[in-house]
Amino acid sequence: MNAFVAVLRRDLLLALRDGAGTWTVLGFFAIAVAVFPLGVGPEPQVLARIAPGVLWAMALLAALLSLETLFEADYRDGSLEPLLSGALAPELLVLAKALAHWLATGLPLAIAAPVLGIFLNLPTEAMPVLLASLLLGTPVLSLLGAVGAALALGARRATVLLAVMVLPLSAPVLIFGAGAVESAQTGLAATPSLLILGSVALVALAVCPVAAAAALRQAVE
């Protein structure tokens, strides 16, 4: 547990000290969402109809921006191999890094989304569901991103490769995340979609650290 907390604290401090990752992700998210009213027009009904899909799709793309850095710095300076052979199990190492990534990027995205939803005329009653869906869905993006980052480690054009691997796997999260918000927006029950998102998060929590750890072992051999 001490080793897990140490890795989590180290990665989180590095992310917050740099600040570029978090602010870049939030800046991209805000700008990308703000562009849509310029393209589709200022009609409130149109904006409200597309708001769930736009917010979720842009959050997904914003989260991709910082995934490449999950293991890249440790791989380049040679510290990844000692970390993998240290006291902390590789699966827990992956989990600690994914949690640090989520705290630095996914959580700020989830908090910022309801504010940006105001600009897309998202109904007030849908705001809690939007926040809940992102709090359930963004950890999945970090876990899937950990697998993709581990597989793309050391590859040329890793950013493109990472997007190709992670985006298709993220489709269920996007579908049910946006679906939950749309259900709340139209007066339907959002609970089924949120429960599915929670189930996906639990499966990702069980599978992704194991898969990413295996890919990291292969990368350092």
Quick check: 94 and 216 in contact, CB under 8 A? yes
Token output for 202: 């639990």
Q: What is the predicted pLDDT for the residue at 1?
A: 67
Token output for 193: 């979609």
Stretch 22-30: mean pLDDT, rounded? Answer: 88
Query: Is the model's pLDDT at 16 over the cut of 90?
Result: no
Stretch 183-196: mean pLDDT, rounded? Answer: 92
Token output for 159: 């950013």
Q: Measure the CA–CA gap between 5 and 163, rounded to whole angstroms.
A: 29
Place of tokens 């309801």: 114
Grouping H, G, I as helix, E, B as strand and the rest as coil, residue 65 is coil
Closest CA to 97 of 7, 177, 1, 179: 7
Residue 205's pLDDT band (boundaries 50, 70, 90)? Answer: very high
Quick check: 126 and 117 in contact, CB under 8 A? yes
Token output for 175: 């579908």
Give the ranges where 78-188 is alpha helix by DSSP (H).
80-84, 90-101, 107-119, 127-151, 158-169, 171-185
- Which value, in Å, is the radius of gyration of the alpha carbons in the chain? 18
| 132-155 pLDDT, tens digit each | 999 999 999 999 999 998 888 866
Judged by average pLDDT, the poorest of 49-58, 68-77, 133-142 is: 68-77
Residue 19's pLDDT band (boundaries 50, 70, 90)? Answer: low
Query: Is the model's pLDDT at 186 over the cut of 60?
Result: yes
Residue 164 neighbours by CB under 8 Å, 6+ apart: none
Q: What is the predicted pLDDT for the residue at 2?
A: 81
Closest CA to 173 of 151, 199, 206: 199
Token output for 153: 């480690």
Q: What is the predicted pLDDT for the residue at 207?
A: 95
Length of the chain: 221
